[in-house]
Amino acid sequence: MTDNAKIRPDQTALLTELLTKRTLLLDGAMGTMIQKHKLEEEDYRGERFKDWQSPVKGNNDLLVLTQPELIKNIHLEYLNAGADVIETNSFNATETSMADYHMESLAEEINFEAAKLARAACDEVATPERPRFVAGVLGPTAKTTSISPDVNDPGYRNITFDALVADYTKATLALMRGGSDIILVETIFDTLNAKAALFAIEDAFEIAGQRLPIMISGTITDASGRTLSGQTTEAFYNSICHVSPLLVGLNCALGPDLLRQYVDTLSSVAECFVSVHPNAGLPNEFGEYDLDAEEMAEHIAEWSQSKLINMVGGCCGTTPEHIAAMKKAVDGNAPRVPNPKTPVMRLSGLEAFNV
pTM of the full structure: 0.95
Give the whole-number percent of the chain exceeding pLDDT 90: 93
Residue 7 lies in a domain: no
Residue 1 lies in a domain: no
The pLDDT assigned to 259 comes to 97
CB count, 10 Å around CB of 147? 16
- Nearest-5° Cα angle at 76, 309 to 181: 55
**What digits encode the pLDDT tens for the residues 236-295?**
999 999 999 999 999 999 999 999 999 999 999 999 999 999 999 998 888 889 999 999
Q: What residues contact residue 123 under an 8 Å CB cut-off, 6+ apart?
A: 132
Give the residue from 67, 71, 39, 70 showing the smallest Cα distance to 55: 39
How many CA atoms, within 13 angstroms, populate the side-chain half-sphere of residue 243? Answer: 28
Residue 260 lies in a domain: yes
Residue 328 lies in a domain: yes
Residue 6 lies in a domain: no
Residue 4 lies in a domain: no
Number of domains in the chain: 1
Q: How far apart are CA 355 and CA 349, in angstroms?
A: 14
**What digits encode the pLDDT tens for the residues 8-38?**
556 899 999 999 999 999 999 999 999 999 9
Domain span at 90: 12-354
Supply the CATH number for residue 273's domain. 3.20.20.330
